[in-house]
């Protein structure tokens, strides 16, 4: 950052305030100061730390995951939870029913028999109406004693832990938070539990009562804002947080996302950023586990490349990280993709981390990913065949559902 950028950063506030007046969310997220945030740039490090934290739990472990596989990683995860229950630690788990549809029911029955209290999110039912079938709990969250939280894009599976062949691995990223922000995550977990069970978990009623005083201990220097989104909200808080962060950029925007179906508002914000001199770089997958989404994402390339936005496709591993870095100091990171599903139909959880140190770590990680990527140029993109162009137009008709 240059000294001159001090003045360009002062221009952010008017842009943000104008955007907030247009968005007008019901409740603005609260920013929590003095948190410690630790980055886990790969699967092995993330799961080692997660397992160690579960072993250290003394009171409760709260877990909310979209996908849990019955493989080596899932088996080790289940063993850690069972051992925690043996130590009289309460373990509560919410898993997405559709996300885990390929996981044998015996896996979850075994967890229940070993004392884990669990809820499948959104089991098929007409009670909520036909439209509710399309809703997913896409969060990835583990909370230890209300003091330590693990978030990010990692599901529980071998492809995330990095113990499969390179071309089958998911390139993902996670992080942990210790500090006051964790209490907000506990509240969000309680809200999801109550939504499915109809009542709060008994050991957490005090957490939701509003009588508990926030911890005044300074764990670190990071400011953390927790952004929770879901179809129960009148508008997309996840998209609004992205828009506000994009509007705040004065120098550089770097975005890594596996599913790029941003919609017109995000596209307009990216183009406005380039017009005010902000460098914008997108890191997208060269191979995607949902090929039709990748095809749809490439339909946006032409308009973006013509305006000077740089696009790179990660080769080797399958990109699954969801990260946005603003001016090297503000990081938006979590479970939400830049797509319509994450904006409107999934329950998601993101953290906005204001920290030069954490931002520097994210920047170095992303620069390494760019080195393993192929840059897309407009001339090459325009040479794609007529079949690809036709398929893009057809898929665009269904972009809302992807």
CB 160 within 8 Å of CB 65: no
CB 367 within 8 Å of CB 352: no
Question: Which residue out of 134, 145, 289, 381 is catalytically annotated?
Answer: 145
Tokens of 389: 């162009």
**Could you confirm whether 109 is annotated as catalytic?**
no
**Radius of gyration (Cα) for the chain, nearest Å?**
21
Torsion sign, CA atoms 301, 287, 368, 384: negative
Residues 6+ apart with CB under 8 A from 210: none
Question: Which residue out of 42, 70, 71, 327 is catalytically annotated?
Answer: 327
**Could you confirm whether 369 is annotated as catalytic?**
no
Q: Give, in degrees to the nearest 5, the angle at Cα 43 between 348 and 281.
A: 65
Cα 129 to Cα 151: distance, rounded to the nearest angstrom:
31
**Could you confirm whether 327 is annotated as catalytic?**
yes
Helix (H) or strand (E) holding 225: strand 222-229
- For residue 354, give the nearest of 224, 231, 266, 244 by alpha carbon: 224
Question: Which residue out of 320, 339, 344, 354 is catalytically annotated?
Answer: 320
Give the total residue count for the chain.
Answer: 402
**Could you confirm whether 138 is annotated as catalytic?**
yes
Question: Which residue out of 70, 71, 135, 138 is catalytically annotated?
Answer: 138
- Measured in degrees and rounded to the nearest 5, phi and psi for residue 308 equal 90, 5
Helix (H) or strand (E) holding 266: helix 263-275
Question: Which residue out of 147, 219, 322, 344 is catalytically annotated?
Answer: 322
**Could you confirm whether 51 is annotated as catalytic?**
no
Distances (CA, A) of 30 to 3, 33, 75, 229, 232: 29, 10, 37, 14, 19
Active-site residue list: 138, 140, 145, 320, 322, 327
């Amino acid at each position: 950052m240059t000294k001159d950028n001090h003045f360009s950063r002062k221009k952010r506030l008017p842009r943000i305030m104008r955007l907030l007046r247009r968005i007008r969310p019901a409740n603005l997220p609260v920013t929590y100061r003095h948190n410690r945030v630790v980055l886990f740039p790969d699967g092995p490090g993330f799961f080692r730390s997660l397992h160690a934290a579960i072993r250290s739990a003394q009171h409760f472990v709260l877990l909310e995951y979209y996908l849990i596989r019955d493989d080596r990683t899932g088996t080790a995860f289940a063993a850690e939870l069972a051992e925690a229950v043996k130590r009289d630690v309460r373990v509560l788990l919410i898993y997405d029913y559709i996300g885990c549809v390929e996981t044998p029911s015996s896996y979850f029955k075994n967890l229940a028999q070993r004392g884990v209290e669990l809820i499948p999110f959104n089991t098929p039912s007409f009670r909520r109406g036909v439209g509710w079938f399309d809703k997913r709990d896409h969060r990835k969250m583990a909370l230890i004693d209300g003091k330590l939280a693990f978030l990010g894009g990692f599901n529980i599976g071998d492809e995330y832990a990095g113990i499969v062949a390179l071309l089958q691995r998911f390139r993902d990223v996670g992080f942990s938070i210790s500090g006051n922000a964790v209490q907000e995550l506990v509240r969000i977990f309680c809200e999801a539990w109550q939504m499915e069970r109809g009542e709060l978990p008994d050991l957490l009623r005090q957490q939701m009562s509003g009588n508990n005083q926030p911890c005044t201990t300074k764990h670190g220097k990071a400011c953390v804002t927790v952004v929770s989104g879901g179809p129960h909200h009148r508008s997309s808080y996840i998209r609004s947080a992205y828009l506000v962060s994009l509007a705040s950029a004065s120098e550089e925007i770097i975005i890594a996302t596996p599913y790029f179906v941003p919609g017109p508002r995000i596209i307009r914000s990216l183009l406005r950023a380039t017009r005010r001199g902000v460098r914008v770089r997108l890191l997208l997958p060269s191979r995607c586990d949902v090929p039709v989404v990748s095809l749809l994402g490439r339909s946006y390339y032409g308009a973006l490349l013509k305006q000077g936005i740089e696009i790179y496709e990660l080769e080797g591993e399958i990109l699954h990280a969801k990260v946005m870095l603003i001016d090297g100091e503000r990081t938006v990171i979590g479970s939400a993709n830049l797509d319509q599903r994450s904006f409107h139909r999934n329950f998601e959880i993101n953290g906005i981390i204001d920290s030069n140190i954490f931002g520097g770590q994210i920047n170095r990680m992303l620069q390494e990913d760019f080195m393993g990527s192929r840059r897309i140029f407009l001339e090459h993109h325009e040479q794609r065949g007529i079949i690809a162009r036709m398929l893009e137009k057809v898929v665009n008709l269904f972009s809302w559902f992807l």
